[in-house]
Amino acid sequence: MNLEVMGSYLPLFGKALWLTFRIGWLGILLSFVIGLVTAVVRHYRVPVLRQLAGIYIELFRNTPLLVQLFFLYFGLPKLGIRIGAEFCGILGLGLLGGAYMAETFRSGLETVEKTQVESALSLGMTRGQVLRLVVLPEAVSVSIPGFTANVIFLLKETSVFSAISLMDLMFTAKDLIGLYYKTTECLVLLVIFYLIMLLPVSFLGSWLERRVRRAGFGY
Amino acid sequence: MQALGIDVLFKGTNGQRLLEGLWVSLRISLISVAISLTLGVLVGILMTKKHPVIRILTRGYLEIVRFMPQMVLLFIVFFGSTRVFGWDVDAELSAVIVFSFWGVAEMADLTRGALISIPKHQYESAAALGLNGRQTYLLIIIPQTLRRLIPLSINLITRMIKTTSLVMMIGVVEVLKVGQQIIEANRNSSPNAAFGVYAVVFLLYFLACWPISLVAKHLEKRWAVA
């Protein structure tokens, strides 16, 4: 292993980390929004939208991200819908994650006791207020461990972005291996950089889990 | 059909080749699933032991699998093994090694979770009824563990099938790669093939995984612990 070579690769890996990080977190943000909306739609049994949400969740939970990305990036332009690689990555991750987040949210929503809703209503809150001030905060705090698991899963899934020519960590490693044959150095850097990205999330997750549980409702 | 580019799949042996590609993916995942389920249960039982060395080793193993994307592991085994040991591991074998390495950890964690979820009073009640150690496990503990474990391990199968799509990145010619080849070979005769072929690949994966997840969901509901 040649440390000098590894040092010279650092800027390239740093750039790739930033790209992976950016797309990863934007995608996760999108998945959070999609998941929240689909879960609420399903929980409140909104007609038509509920069925659509169900189809969406089944479709995206049962197909790999790589295939979804290929379809979005190479397939859709044939219908005249052309989207850039970066946006495609964000959209793909958001759609995949949304389906997982929706399920996590939904199991959180199901743990909210009926008495909580009834009490809030009898205090004179409107239905919107009940959802915003009572149901969602409780559901979200219960779902935190599930979210952390989903976030780590989604950040790991970003490793397929290289297939749609995004210069992420995987792409950079493969490129450098092909150019200079410094396989060991590149693989070690690859592992280190993924750890840099994922370890903080894991710590943040367990910290958040402790905090929210302390501020638990009704226990 | 022409405009959507699905017609390509009816030309020559294209459709059949795509299905053969799907079989390559399924074969890799089925072999890995078989290894993961059997070894995973054993490692999971090992994980419930309180021996400090076993604890550290299994914990470290779990963390590695939890943090490393499967793609990175694939690269390490496929490119790294040649570099470091001089072995020539072919792509399909690397895939089976990596997915088993990953699956055993997942399965072990599930097994451990199911085993420690059996409350202590079940053991004590069994003892109070006069059952011996073997009877306690055979009649009380294992049936309950299996009920929790089976739906979760069926889910692992669908995750395994989905993850095999990654093997195209190390050069295995599976369903996605075959799709790509078909699209490229018919670039002139049907320029829209990318839409149709990738849509079909998407659907094929869905059709492979969906029934399995339905079974898992059904069993989970039916065997839910009250």
Mind giving me the DSSP string for chain A? --HHHHHHHHHHHHHHHHHHHHHHHHHHHHHHHHHHHHHHHHHTT-TTHHHHHHHHHHHHHTS-HHHHHHIIIIIGGGGT----HHHHHHHHHHHHHHHHHHHHHHHHHHHS-HHHHHHHHHTT--HHHIIIIIIHHHHHHHHHHHHHHHHHHHHHHGGGGGGGT---HHHHHHHHHHHH--HHHHHHHHHHHHHHHHHHHHHHHHHHHHHHHHT-S--
- A189 is in which domain, residue-wise? 3-214
Q: Assess A160–B contact: CB distance below 8 Å, yes or no.
A: yes
Q: Taking CB atoms and an 8 Å limit, are B162 and A160 in contact across chains? A: no
**Among the listed residues A108, A104, A195, the one whose alpha carbon sits nearest the alpha carbon of residue A150:** A104
Q: Is the pLDDT of residue B136 over 80?
A: yes
Q: Taking CB atoms and an 8 Å limit, are A187 and B165 in contact across chains? A: no
Q: Taking CB atoms and an 8 Å limit, are B206 and A71 in contact across chains? A: no
Q: Which residue in A has a C-alpha nearest to residue B176's C-alpha?
A: A67
Give residue-wise pLDDT tens across range B113-132: 888 888 888 889 999 999 99
Burial A15-49 (b: 16+ CB within 10 A, else e): ebbebbbebbbbbbebbbebbbbbbbbbbeeeeee
Q: Is the pLDDT of residue B11 over 90?
A: no
CB < 8 Å to B198, chain A:
67, 70-71, 74-75
Cα angle, residue A101 at apex, residues B37 and B69 outer, rounded to 5°: 50
User: What local confidence, expressed as pLDDT, does residue A107 receive?
Assistant: 87
Q: Taking CB atoms and an 8 Å limit, are B68 and A191 in contact across chains? A: yes
CATH label of the domain that carries residue A118: 1.10.3720.10
User: What local confidence, expressed as pLDDT, does residue A218 receive?
Assistant: 47
Q: Taking CB atoms and an 8 Å limit, are A71 and B163 in contact across chains? A: no
Q: Note down pLDDT in tens along chain A; length 219 residues.
A: 778 888 888 888 999 999 998 999 999 999 999 999 999 999 888 889 999 999 999 999 999 999 999 999 998 888 888 888 899 999 999 999 999 999 999 888 888 888 988 999 999 999 889 988 988 888 888 888 888 889 999 998 998 998 888 888 888 988 888 888 888 888 889 999 999 988 888 888 888 878 776 555 544
Which residue has better confidence, B39 or A166?
B39
Task: Let me know if residue A159 belongs to a domain.
Answer: yes
**Among the listed residues B119, B117, B156, B210, the one whose alpha carbon sits nearest the alpha carbon of residue B38:** B156
**Residue B150 host element (H or E):** helix B142-163
Total domains, chain A:
1
Give residue-wise pLDDT tens across range B137-180: 889 888 888 888 888 899 899 999 999 999 988 888 989 999 98
Give residue-wise pLDDT tens across range B75-119: 889 888 877 787 888 889 999 999 999 999 999 999 988 888 888
Distance from CA of A117 to the nearest CA of B (A): 24
**For residue B213, what pLDDT band results from cuts at 50, 70 and 90?**
very high
The token pair at A77 is 């332009």
Q: Taking CB atoms and an 8 Å limit, are A195 and B67 in contact across chains? A: yes
Q: Which residue in A has a C-alpha nearest to residue B70's C-alpha?
A: A156
Burial class (CB in 10 A: 0-12, 13-18, 19+), A162: buried
Give residue-wise pLDDT tens across range B45-70: 888 888 899 989 998 899 888 888 99
Q: Assess A73–B contact: CB distance below 8 Å, yes or no.
A: no
Give residue-wise pLDDT tens across range B172-207: 898 999 998 888 888 888 888 888 889 999 999 999
Number of residue pairs across A and B with CB atoms under 8 Å?
Answer: 109
Q: Which residue in A has a C-alpha nearest to residue B200's C-alpha?
A: A71
Radius of gyration of chain B (CA): 22
Q: Taking CB atoms and an 8 Å limit, are B168 and A66 in contact across chains? A: yes
The CATH T-level fold of domain B7-222 is MetI-like fold (1.10.3720)
CB-closest option in A62, A67, A173 to B201? A67
User: What local confidence, expressed as pLDDT, does residue B38 receive?
Assistant: 93
DSSP designation for B119: -
User: What local confidence, expressed as pLDDT, does residue A205 receive?
Assistant: 84
Q: Assess A61–B contact: CB distance below 8 Å, yes or no.
A: yes
Q: Taking CB atoms and an 8 Å limit, are A71 and B192 in contact across chains? A: no
Distance from CA of B193 to the nearest CA of A (A): 8
Task: Let me know if residue A219 belongs to a domain.
Answer: no
Q: Taking CB atoms and an 8 Å limit, are B67 and A202 in contact across chains? A: yes
Q: Which residue in A has a C-alpha nearest to residue B63's C-alpha?
A: A199
C-alpha–C-alpha distance, residues B110 and B201, integer Å: 30
